[in-house]
Structure 1
Amino acid sequence: MDDSTFKALSRTGTPGRYAAFADLVDLAPAAAFIRDSDGCYLWANHAYAHLYGTVPEHVIGKYIEDLDEPAEAEQFRALDQEILSRGTPVRHTLGYRRPDGSAGRAVGHRFPVRENARTCVAGIYVDVTDHLRATVQWQEAEENLQALRDHSGLPCALLSANGRVVEASAAAAELFQVSPHDLVGRRAHTLLAPAPDLDRLHARWNGLISRRTRRVETSAVLVDAHGLQRRAQLHLTSIGHSSGGHASVGHSMSRARHVWAVVTHQSLAHEAHPALTAAQIRILSLLAEGSSNGDIATSLHLSRQTVDYHLSRLRHLLGAATRPALVARAYVLGILAPRAWPPRSATAAHPLSTV
């Protein structure tokens, strides 16, 4: 660096052809400085002075020991001498004390420069303290999430916006009777059994992806590798977002990137059976409530013979020989909601619904 260049950078003389560059470096977020071989600051920009809680005018003309603790000053002097003797740049990580008293970290290079026939040391650093802190927090959050995923015992999976399994817990793989490796990459719709409420589930999924809603509690019939079915209570939560499509000219539409799906309750695995009618489910609800056949007939405005027929048909479909067994099977197969009273269908949209 010749004298005119340095004067332009340090603003101690008439601005030359490097003045625009000097303005840029002076206001750049990267911290930069120039020191002579004695450790005296010849120039520093605002970002470098900010590391010490001051301004460039209070740095220029001072020595390393005037700004840093003795141990750090000794280390910096040794590094300067290494650069001066080697004549080549050195990548360096700088630890420092922030103005608020917290520990800071910057990464950059120190390198030799020429000024007035003298070899000096220049340095440029980027403060990575906040980035490192955010990285650590992200890693901790990832570890906590993985611990919850792997050790909570709940079947859960991370799904992409197009419904593909990105991650899955061991419990989820066990639920579908496959290995976690085989579950990852599967399309979610291949894990669902045909059911009357699939359209409603699809509509709720679209609401999550379009970010009209953030959380959904619903149910679906899952099918494992052996073809056995079970109704599961699902908690779906959208995470992340990306811009895609256009809601209107000049306005982008935000879409969720992923959805966490967590199974909180699941029925007993069973062979597929024909879907029950609304009347049959209502009969099961009243039966679970303790109603007699006559009471059920009166409540539903049916004949006693019709109720008897439905109950006989239900015992056949669900493999239950008695009324108590029929109620028990209705719960373990996920036909009736396990946490509702009065008894109601597990697929009811509202907690007080009976069908």
Structure 2
Amino acid sequence: MDDSSLKALPPSESRAHSFADLVDLAPAAAFIRDGEGRYLWANHAYAHLYGTVPEDVVGKYIEDLDAPAEAGRFRALDQEVLSRGAPVRHTLGYRRRDGSAGRAVGHRFPVRENARTCVAGIYVDVTDHLRLTVRWQEAEENLRALRDHSGLPCALLSANGRVIEASAAAAELFRLDPHDLVGRRAHTLLAPEPGLDLLHRRWQGLLSRRTRRVETSAVLVDAQGLRRRARLHLTTIGHSAARARYVWAVVTHQSLAHEAHASLTAAQIRILSLLAEGSSNGDIATSLKLSRQTVDYHLSRLRQLLGAGTRPALVARAYVLGILAPCAWPPRSATAAHPLSAV
């Protein structure tokens, strides 16, 4: 049909041809059938559903391409469109070329073709989208199950540090109702200490995607004001955005809850590490190039600060308060950035 004949068509027939021209090479599957179920036109995407080309579809009837039960449903839908004279939204189930079940969503509507009212349809295959949606839902369910039943305190944090989700173990750790924990700003759950500057820098590194995972430590404060040293694993979610939108925070180790005490010096922590290793006062003095009297003073001061009367009690308190790392040998500070670092 040339341009002059197209201009002579009635407006409704011109729209039918415009529809065919518009979607001929579109990824959406489209067709035009007459009232008897015979194909007058189909695009490549529609023919591909049946493993053929448009030229082999045109002229065939519905029953030539679809099973009897499906053909009956399609004919009934065509008749509904023709009788109502209005578009009908339709979800289509079909068998894909690989034998799997497929799903498409689209519209059928009346058009004029060769002075007859026919049915046009356009469908988008949503099979892969639905499958991905199901997998996403399953992944979320598995994540929730892991969050709720692993026993690990964990929380999903927004980029501005607000708690979006939290496990029951996390709420228990902070002695809060889960509903009270959600919505809190994370910085209100941390004790102010020098290490917060490093934690903030690492957090910014996560958000800017300079790194995806961070293992660090922080002192957490519960609703009663008690503190505990915790080992934190921070992991960003997703790869697409330039900045991370969410971060999972998981606590893998935590110390005994305790009241706030004065911060220990690097020398005091090193003395505790050597004491836990089994060193005598003289050995500690030699190792740190200190006088015996200085070591004795530090140990006496540590017993006062940590509320421990004996050397074994002092070592035990250093571990349960999270001053020394629980899974490291030789003993070292729980805040050490490197496994071989002493402080």
Q: Return closer, same or farther for 1:171/1:7 CA change in 2, 3 Å cut-off.
A: farther
CA offset at residue 83 of structure 1? 2.7
| Residue 64 of structure 1: aligned partner | 62
User: Are 2:127 and 1:121 aligned?
Assistant: no
CA offset at residue 18 of structure 1? 7.8
Residue among 25, 28, 31 paired with 1:27: 25
- The amino acid that maps onto 2:148 is D
The number of equivalent residue pairs is: 337
Bigger Cα displacement from structure 2, 78-87 vs 59-68:
78-87
| Residue 264 of structure 2: aligned partner | 276
Spell out, residue by residue over 1:130-180, the C-alpha distance to the aligned partner (whole angstroms, 9 max, x if none).
111111111111111111111111111111111111111111111111111
Residue among 300, 324, 328 paired with 1:312: 300
User: Are 2:200 and 1:187 aligned?
Assistant: no
| Residue 139 of structure 1: aligned partner | 137
CA offset at residue 23 of structure 1? 2.9
CA distance in 2, matches of 1:147, 1:295: 51
RMSD: 2.2
CA offset at residue 8 of structure 1? 11
Gaps of 5+ in 2: none
CA distance in 1, matches of 2:301, 2:178: 39
CA offset at residue 115 of structure 1? 2.8
- The amino acid that maps onto 2:274 is L
Check the 8 A contact 1:30/1:126 in 2, yes or no.
yes
Q: Return closer, same or farther for 1:331/1:28 CA change in 2, 3 Å cut-off.
A: same
Spell out, residue by residue over 1:248-294, the C-alpha distance to the aligned partner (whole angstroms, 9 max, x if none).
xxxxxx21111110000000010000100111101110110111111
Give 4+ residue runs of structure 1 displaced > 6 Å after superposition.
4-9, 16-20
Output the TM-score relative to the length of structure 1: 0.90
CA distance in 1, matches of 2:340, 2:20: 72
Residue among 240, 255, 258 paired with 1:267: 255
CA distance in 2, matches of 1:324, 1:188: 35
User: Are 2:333 and 1:354 aligned?
Assistant: no
CA offset at residue 112 of structure 1? 2.5
Q: Return closer, same or farther for 1:112/1:24 CA change in 2, 3 Å cut-off.
A: closer
Check the 8 A contact 2:234/2:248 in 1, yes or no.
yes
Output the TM-score relative to the length of structure 2: 0.93
Alignment of 1:82-161 (within 5 A): 82-161=80-159
Spell out, residue by residue over 1:210-256, the C-alpha distance to the aligned partner (whole angstroms, 9 max, x if none).
1000101110011111111100000001113565xxxxxxxxxx211
CA distance in 1, matches of 2:176, 2:228: 15
CA distance in 2, matches of 1:206, 1:113: 58
Check the 8 A contact 1:232/1:265 in 2, yes or no.
yes
CA distance in 1, matches of 2:130, 2:168: 31
Residue among 299, 310, 313 paired with 1:322: 310
CA distance in 2, matches of 1:224, 1:17: 69
CA distance in 2, matches of 1:6, 1:212: 60
Alignment of 1:247-266 (within 5 A): 254-266=242-254
Q: Return closer, same or farther for 1:270/1:225 CA change in 2, 3 Å cut-off.
A: same
Identical-pair percentage: 87
Residue among 253, 266, 274 paired with 1:286: 274
Check the 8 A contact 1:8/1:19 in 2, yes or no.
no
| Residue 250 of structure 1: aligned partner | none
Bigger Cα displacement from structure 2, 178-187 vs 256-265:
178-187
CA distance in 2, matches of 1:155, 1:103: 41
CA distance in 2, matches of 1:52, 1:18: 23
Q: Return closer, same or farther for 1:107/1:52 CA change in 2, 3 Å cut-off.
A: same
CA distance in 2, matches of 1:296, 1:276: 17
Q: Return closer, same or farther for 1:340/1:195 CA change in 2, 3 Å cut-off.
A: same
| Residue 249 of structure 1: aligned partner | none
